[in-house]
Amino acid sequence: MKRALITGITGQDGAYLARLLLDKGYRVYGLVPRRSHPVYDGLDYLGVRPRVELLDGDVTDQASLIRAMEAAQPDEVYNLAAQSYVGTSWRQPALTAQTTGMGALNLLEAMRLICPEARYYQASTSEMYGLIREPVQNELTPFHPRSPYGVSKLFAHWITVNYRESYGLFACCGIAFNHESPLRGREFVTRKVSDAAARIKLGRARELRLGRLDPRRDWGYAGDYVEGMWRMLQRDEPRDYVLATGVTHSVRDLCEVAFTHVGLDFRDHVVDDPALHRPAEVDELTGDPRKAREELGWQARTGFAELVRMMVDADLERVRAEGRTDPLPRK
């Protein structure tokens, strides 16, 4: 039985990855920071919480990482922990750098000391490209991050490459473009839109205030993307891969699909609020997933409209049954 340690297991990707690994027969350990009361909604939603072994630890506290490595003795380590919201990174840049950037270094160093034969996955991001130099981004496209989050992720990406080249660790970076699900936090634009569409349809709200509607993103389904993460660590040699659909849609497209799904016209409810515009915006990101398709046999299976409708349906169920702050229904 293989053993895997997942940081960020209470987040969207952590929950989907835990389910995938458990279904493959892994013994799964999850690192849980105790800064505040942990929220296990995602693990409960997917019905996997009882099967995961949770360990206290924080990527900003290397001693706790060493203890977690000793307890789990993992064959595979997946670093999904981060302060991952771009907007918050402008308000809390130092916290973002410590958690998202230095956290990866702390984890790599703990792995090097305790279980150097383990395989390591670093969750890199398309936000590292930022001010794009090429219309479609691949593994060789230059990086130019446009937020403290993107800069922090770039440090984590390059320190992973450095540890691979310097210490011979089996360490891979997955440059994942935007991937969403019903487990996405409400601070992200996709969940803002799906949640608002559900609430407005059910008479719980009247309008949705957003920043700019023109930025375009390559949106996929998180449940598809975690399979790509796993496949990277099954290769004979460690390499970095872009995980993307190769197709972009604007925030306006997102609103149109979501509101149309519930029989509404988004133009009657969505307001462009200048107060929500970011200091620096990334206008468009489009990933080239050819390398992942050719070498990993991976490709995104869930289309954009299907993903948005899935999220709206989940929020309709949530709003009807539980109310805004109650736990997610089991699914």
As annotated, the active-site residues are 125, 127, 149
Number of C-alpha atoms within 13 angstroms, CB side, residue 144? 13
Q: Are strands 27-32 and 3-7 parallel, antiparallel or unpaired?
A: parallel
**Residue 172 token pair:** 């891979």
Number of C-alpha atoms within 13 angstroms, CB side, residue 164? 19
Contact between residue 298 and residue 227 where contact means Cβ atoms under 8 Å apart: yes
User: Helix axis angle, 103-114 relative to 62-72, nearest 10°?
Assistant: 40
Nearest to 31 by CA among 48, 50, 45, 14: 14
CA dihedral for 177, 182, 188, 191, sign (positive or negative): positive
Task: Report the DSSP beta bridge partners of residue 4.
Answer: 28, 76
Residue 78, Cα to own-chain centre: how many angstroms? 12
Contact between residue 316 and residue 198 where contact means Cβ atoms under 8 Å apart: yes
DSSP codes of every residue in 188-243: SHHHHHHHHHHHHHTTS-S-EEES-S--EE--EEHHHHHHHHHHHTTSSS---EEE
Contact between residue 74 and residue 128 where contact means Cβ atoms under 8 Å apart: no
